Amino acid sequence: MTLIAIEHLDETGFFQPPADHAPAASTPNNSNNSRSDNRDSDDLALASQVQETRSWLSQCALLRITGPDSERFLQGQLTCDVVSLDPAEWRLGACCNAKGRMVANFVIARDQEGYWLRLPASQVSSLMMHLQKYAVFFKTSLQDLSDRCKVIGAWGGPQVDEQRCEWLPLGACLSHSDGRREFWLSNDSAEQALQDFSLIGSQQWAAADIEQGLVWVDEHSREHWVPQNIDWHRHGGVSFSKGCYTGQEIVARLQYLGKAKKALFALQYNGSQAVHPAPLSAVCQEDGKTIGELAAWHHGTGLALLNDNFANAEACLNDDENGEFSVSVRKLTYTDEQKTSSGS
């Protein structure tokens, strides 16, 4: 059964595994000959001793940047330091317009030939269009890999302390601190990576991102936030020591001279009715006063950009079908390192 197919996407574009999918029975791999014959398969699974659950992250896509000027080009466009980026690690980053507002944010890694960006699929064409305006002055090439490569998410791996990236014969494997992993693979390899595993819907990856405090710029929030609005600097997605890039003056001014009036808060809906608040919808107090906006939402959990001094335990959102509903509110907390983070 082909798993990476449009018929397995729900109405919002998330992958939903077919009900009749059954992973193939695993066979112990104790033979040296077997390991030699299946080297690529072993590399793809990374010989994990933990039975993983996997998903096609249909909401994500890959953008490739290559060419002799790629490093210099990206260093002048992105918030992260691409010069110091090691092939054995990955980072978060963003691309801003001249006003410091994010066109897109992403995961970035590099190999011997150039850079890879993983970002929301809805943002690839917009980011490419933005970067092309500057790329014409450099020997660099941008490729949308949406039709050729896929992103596979995996749960159940060991937790790691670092954001590791391992380049495999078939692609790349990125390890997250919460035990998740993601594979960047060709279409055929991605299909293979799903066949022998239990599958879950890719919306679970979105939920895990919210739990980690990660907000992704999409078609609704494009050029709406500066990186600090969504705490991107707390996650290492902004370098304040790398030098100039498009929008850098605004981002640095907010960091050193400004005082943020809003902060990210976690939201939790405990009702039994399914609710679907609109992106960037207003978050209000019980008296109806607007205190901020919704930044991310998935199945009853969300992140919101609220007035920094908001101290109540509850707030209200609105759903077009079900009307107003209440959510519990909790301000996000960070480690001491994140609080003083100035990026790489």
The whole-number average pLDDT for the span 57-71 is 98
> Which of the four pLDDT bands, split at 50, 70 and 90, describes residue 39?
very low
Paired residues of 151 in beta bridges: 184
The whole-number average pLDDT for the span 189-198 is 94
Q: Give yes or no for a contact between 38 and 184, defined as CB atoms under 8 angstroms apart.
A: no
- Of 37-46, 70-79, 114-123, the poorest mean pLDDT is in 37-46
Q: What is the DSSP letter of 78?
A: B
Q: What is the DSSP letter of 157?
A: P
* Separation of alpha carbons 220 and 189, rounded Å: 32
> Which of the four pLDDT bands, split at 50, 70 and 90, describes residue 333?
confident
Phi then psi dihedrals of residue 119, to 5 deg = -150, 170
Provide the whole-model pTM.
Answer: 0.89
Q: Is the pLDDT of residue 339 over 80?
A: no
How many CB atoms sit inside 10 A of residue 12's CB? 12
Summarize pLDDT for 92-143 with one digit per residue, the tens: 999 999 999 999 999 999 999 999 999 999 999 999 999 999 999 999 999 9
Residue 224 CA: distances (Å) to CA of 108, 227, 230: 21, 10, 11
Q: Where are the alpha helices (DSSP H) in the chain?
A: 32-37, 39-45, 70-75, 124-135, 187-195, 203-211, 248-256, 336-339
In the chain, what percentage of residues exceed pLDDT 90? 75
List all residues 6 or more positions away from 335 whose beta carbon is below 8 Å from its beta carbon. Answer: none
* Separation of alpha carbons 4 and 149, rounded Å: 11
Q: Is the pLDDT of residue 29 over 60?
A: no
Category of 226 on φ-ψ map: left (φ > 0), alpha (ψ -120 to 50) or beta = beta
Residue among 137, 153, 86, 95 nearest 115 (CA): 86
> Which of the four pLDDT bands, split at 50, 70 and 90, describes residue 322?
confident
Q: Is the pLDDT of residue 305 over 70?
A: yes
Give pLDDT, residue 103: 98
Give pLDDT, residue 321: 87
* Separation of alpha carbons 182 and 309, rounded Å: 37
Q: Is the pLDDT of residue 260 over 80?
A: no
Give pLDDT, residue 258: 72
Give pLDDT, residue 43: 46
Set out the domains of the chain in order of their start, with CATH numbers: 9-16+41-230+240-257 (3.30.1360.120), 261-339 (2.40.30.110)
List all residues 6 or more positions away from 236 whose beta carbon is below 8 Å from its beta carbon. Answer: 80, 91, 92, 341, 343, 344
Q: Is the pLDDT of residue 239 over 80?
A: yes
